[in-house]
Structure 1
Amino acid sequence: MLPPVSQLHYILNVSCPDQIGVVSAVTGHLTENACFVEESSDYGDPQTRQFFMRIRFRPTRPGFDPKAFMDGFAAIKDRLDLKLDLYERATRRKVVLMVSKLDHCLNDLLFRYRTGDIRMDIPAIISNHPDLQQLADWHDIPYHYIPVTADTKAEAEKRIEEVLEETQADTIVLARYMQILSASMAEKYHGRIINIHHSFLPGFKGARPYHRAHERGVKLIGATAHYVTADLDEGPIIEQQVERVEHFNSVSDMIAAGRDVECLTLARALRYHLEHRVFLNGNKTVVFRR
């Protein structure tokens, strides 16, 4: 018989050097605290020699104390060099969306937000153009128009960071925000900024990727969602999707297909991130999709 259902559900993320005994030690602590495991995934990377584990569980005893639960890991944590993070599953994270003029990714995320397909709060939309103010207003989300030029880039970025601090943003999504963030900003929000790139990285970087892909006669186009780092379009990849195209497809056909795949890729990457399914592993990621 399953233990009684608790109203509280938690996610425990574990990372450490790969070694014998991690799973046993962690699940043993869960057992000692009468926690019922609902979902568990783990992986040991033979190249980086790091171990990653994600456990979704619910307490079965009344009065579960998250702090006491985490404090109880002290001896195990020191012995196995564990990095532990505990999240209450029901907590909605604050996501600030940044966009320029193209609205397809923004519109898709707002639809998923409004329908509850992606559980999050959106306290602000930031743009370097005023064009999408009406879309933000329709969703009743504050819109911050912060123009950016070569001369005002530092000032604009300072204002962006003020909005992020004011809204207490957990995550920043570049939903086709066509500006390069500074290295200092990328470092400050390391692992918290997700970008969608309109090609299957690392190919066809830079401007007019679909035109270049069309010239090369590619058969697959794609999109890449990744974390932003100081190295342009080189951050750890979270999700990629591809779409087949044919020799008779025009550039316009490819752009339309590309927009669809961009939306899907970004939405999946954001969902994985918000559900704490993504672990940074050097310049790559471990993603426990299910």
Structure 2
Amino acid sequence: MSTPGFILTLSCPDRPGIVHAVSGLLFEQQCNILDSAQYGDAFTNRFFMRVHFAVDQATGLEALQAAFAPVGERFGMDWNIYDAGVRPRVLIMVSKIGHCLNDLLFRAKSGGLPVDVAAIVSNHRDFYQLAASYDVPFLHFPLLGATPEQKAQQEAKVWEVVQEQNIDLVVLARYMQVLSDDLCRKLAGRAINIHHSFLPSFKGAKPYYQAHDRGVKLIGATAHYVTAELDEGPIIEQDVARVDHSMEPDQLTSMGRDVECVTLARAVRWHAEHRILLNGHKTVVFR
């Protein structure tokens, strides 16, 4: 049997017969279900499902999509079928803080993250040597003191890279610039940001200093999809670390970096494995 097979994801209005229709269609196509997860949201009345399956014959992706189309139409599904063996092409964007970039590059290189890093874009030159050590193209698009027109030109270059390199996912690994509404719309559902706080608390700049000022006992990090509303995108993953009154903001920042790396890596992996489905302004994550 061929491996790693294919992944079906879907969401639709909840009603009886969905699982039967899906499993029946896969049976007709001589597919073997390797694992399956589902969730019905009683508040939105939507049903979500992820199925990883293999095919015991030379059936291609397009044939499977064509066979499933009538089921998708009958239930009003938002659905797709992916080749599980295809690694997403990722563009990482970073500014002057590189711990998340370094972590992602190492995980991808060592096989711990099922992605191919196609390029790195930065508004500073700090990490060109790090990129070279992993044999990843480094593109310096400066922005210091930029006017709105210069910012638009810089983002146009970013979008050119996304198109030319067939980028599937953009990761803002501590990229300390706010993307324009236009670029956010273009990257909807395929851009992930790491925010160094436990959202919705402490949005914006210097969240560890905000946390210290409030005397928190837990600091955290949040990986979320990028939207035009700053730090308001659907949350994918969060994690925390315990702190105490004796710690200064710099210590919170140092501790938080480890949390940021782990949180962002999980979010990128789950996206690459098609485990995340949008549920309005929230997400359903089949871990």
Give the C-alpha shift of residue 166 in structure 1: 1.3
Residue 249 to residue 158, structure 1, CA distance change in 2 (3 Å): same
Pairwise CA distance, 1:90: 0.9
Superimposed CA distance per residue, residues 223-250 of structure 1 (whole angstroms, 9 cap, x where no aligned partner): 0000000111100000000111122222
Task: Report deviation, 1:257.
Answer: 1.0
Structure 2 residue 24 is the aligned partner of structure 1 residue 14: no
Q: 2:200 and 2:112 mapped to 1: Cα distance?
A: 30
Quote the offset at 1:51 in angstroms: 0.9
Conservation of the 8 A alpha-carbon contact between 2:204 and 2:231: no
Calculate percent identity across the aligned residue pairs. 52
Q: Which residue of 2 aligns with 1:196?
A: 194
Which residue, 269, 278, 281 being the options, matches 1:280? 278
The within-5 A match list for 1:261-276 is: 261-276=259-274
Query: What corresponds to 2:136 in structure 1?
Result: 141
User: 1:156 is paired with a residue of what secondary structure?
Assistant: helix
User: 2:174 is matched with which residue?
Assistant: 176
Q: Distance in 1 between matches of 2:14 and 2:3?
A: 33
1:80 and 2:78 correspond: no
Structure 2 residue corresponding to 1:52, chosen from 48, 53, 71: 48
Aligned to 1:104: 99
Paired residue secondary structure (2:12): strand
Q: 1:64 to 1:133 in 2, by over 3 A?
A: same
Instruction: Count matched residues.
Output: 284
The partner residue of 1:37 within 29, 33, 46 is 33
Distance (whole Å) between structure 1 residues aligned to residue 95 and residue 4 of structure 2: 39
Query: 1:225–1:238: 8 Å Cα contact kept in structure 2?
Result: yes
**Residues 58-69 of structure 1 mapped to structure 2, 5 A cutoff:** 58-60=54-56, 62-69=57-64
User: Aligned partner of 2:127: which letter?
Assistant: L
Runs of 4+ in 1 over 6 A off after TM superposition: none
User: 1:74: Cα distance to partner?
Assistant: 3.6
In the alignment, is the contact (CA less than 8 A) between 2:61 and 2:82 conserved in 1?
no
* Aligned mates of 1:264, 1:139 — CA distance in 2: 20
When normalised by structure 1's length, the TM-score is 0.95
* Contact residue 8 and residue 59 of structure 1 kept, 8 A: no
Structure 1: gaps (5+ residues): none
String of CA shifts for 1:125-177, please: whole Å, max 9, x gaps: 00000111111111111100001143111111111111111111000000000
Q: Is the 8 A contact 1:175 1:195 kept in 2?
A: yes
